[in-house]
Structure 1
Amino acid sequence: MSTVAIIPARGGSKRIPRKNVKPFHGKPMLAYSIAAAKASGLFDRVVLSTDDDEIMVLARELGAEVPFTRPAKLADDHTTTVAVIQHAVQALQEAGEPVSMACCIYSTAPFVQPRYLREGLEILSTRPDKSYAFSVTTFSFPVQRAIRLDHAGCIDALYPQYRNTRSQDLDETYHDAGQFYWGRAEAWLRGDILFSAAALPVVLPRYLVQDIDTPEDWHRAELMYSALLQNGDIGA
């Protein structure tokens, strides 16, 4: 039975065009996820799922396999991660690859570290009752104290019941870090829900987490990466 990394990288990113191949700190963004997967030493195969010819060529140059083309119906803005990994696992199994564990690594995760990929597999392997293990991190501010603007442009509490609760008395909350998702092959194929009690957390420090969805995000991420590299916090 094999353990595979599956890196989704469609061609039609909207907010940052060609995000997967755009240079980030001197390398194509896609290079970081492929390098982390290979450096982890965990995977029998590192596979890219894409619908884009240019991304296919680049991925192979970077050392990933592209054994199939993702169908157009799984490459639009509404396609879920689970659907993409389902397709990839099915395609590999139909080609004779006996997949047991599949790790989705996002192609725009330059902060992903091999040590946390290893931790994810270890956590999931010790809990046969669970389907997934994926990267999370803490919110930097209590979400229970969130505010919003009402129809008149005035401030309103999102959770009024917590207006007078001290922040230290509120439960710590976490969010998806958007880096990787370990899953058993059968869980992906069943379509088990990721954000549920079927999943285990791999807790990352906040300084290794940054969404990259807008040009502002991109600029912030490059500044963060430069600082982490200089401080020796990025590596295996």
Structure 2
Amino acid sequence: MPEIVIVVPARGGSKRVPRKNIAPLGGKPLLHWTLARAAEGLPLATLIVSTEDDEISHVAEQAGARVIKRPIEICGDGASTESALLHVLDQPGLDPDWVMCLPPSSPFRSAATIARVAGMAGQDGSVDCYFTVTESRGDFWRPGPTGNWLRMEPQ
């Protein structure tokens, strides 16, 4: 089996939902659910949390994840997931065949989905990236130019 590193980017700052990565969901921190499903779905993978936050680090370590402290320069509102991934992959001793990025803000993914995606890795030599999606039939609206709300329609 290829070597897989699972990176969970979990910075401490959040504008819309303060401290969301450690906010309780079902009696446990939000971050817990992603770490638990990752460990269950891929028990042999290296599980890494990228964060600058001490409380998030503690939750990650309690779940058995390795913590890589993210520099403050790549933790602000404009920080990208890509910058966190590149920082993790730049660490000595990490040279995985595959990297799986699991943001904690999707806590309802299953261990089976994680395992299934990992099992697909490398089967088709022409594919170098996989991602999961869920179809939504909800109504989506956006503010219009005059302050009214417009329904978002496929173009």
Q: TM-score, normalised by structure 2?
A: 0.85
- Give the conservation status (yes or no) of the 8 Å contact 1:9–1:50: yes
CA distance 1:53–1:147, change in 2 (3 Å): closer
Superposition misfits of 4+ residues, deviation over 4 angstroms: 154-159
| SS of alignment partner, residue 85 of structure 2 | helix
Query: Which structure exhibits the higher relative contact order, with contacts defined as CA atoms closer than 8 Å and separated by 6 or more residues?
Result: 2
Larger radius of gyration: 1
**Distance in 2, Cα, partners of 1:152 & 1:132:** 39
Are 2:142 and 2:150, in contact at CA under 8 Å, matched by a contact in 1? yes
* Per-residue Cα deviation, 1:63-87 (whole angstroms, up to 9, x for no partner): 2111x31011111111221221111
- In structure 2, the partner of 1:27 is 28
Given that residues 13 and 76 in structure 2 are in contact (C-alpha distance below 8 angstroms), is that contact kept between their aligned partners in structure 1?
Answer: yes
* 115-124 vs 52-61, greater mean Cα deviation: 115-124
> How high is the sequence identity, in percent, across the aligned residues?
27
Q: Deviations over 1:137-159 (max 9, x none)?
A: 2231598xx78634273758866
**Where is the helix percentage greater, Structure 1 or Structure 2?**
1
| Partners of 1:147 and 1:158 within 8 A in 2 | no
2:150 and 2:96 map into 1 onto residues whose CA distance is: 51
**2:137 matched to which residue of 1?**
140
Kept in 1: contact 2:89–2:95 (CA 8 A) = no
TM-score using structure 1 length: 0.58
- Rounded to whole Å, the distance in 2 between the matches of 1:157 and 1:25 is 33
Distance 1:14 1:43, change over 3 A: farther
Q: 3-state DSSP class of the match of 2:90? A: helix
Count of matched residue pairs: 154
Given that 1:51 and 1:70 are in contact with CA atoms closer than 8 Å, whether structure 2 keeps it comes out as: yes
* Aligned partner of 1:98 among 95, 98, 101: 95
**Alpha-carbon distance in 2 for matches of 1:98, 1:156:** 46
State the match for 1:65 in structure 2.
Answer: 66
Tell me whether 1:123 sits opposite 2:120 in the alignment: yes
Q: What whole-Å deviation, never above 9, does each CA across 1:84-122 have from its counterpart, x for those lacking one? A: 11111111xx2x233111111111222011111122123
State the distance in 1 between where 2:62 and 2:99 align: 22
Unaligned runs of 5+ in 1: 163-236
CA–CA distance in structure 1, aligned partners of residues 142 and 87 of structure 2: 40
Alignment of 1:74-113 (within 5 A): 74-91=74-91, 94=92, 96-113=93-110
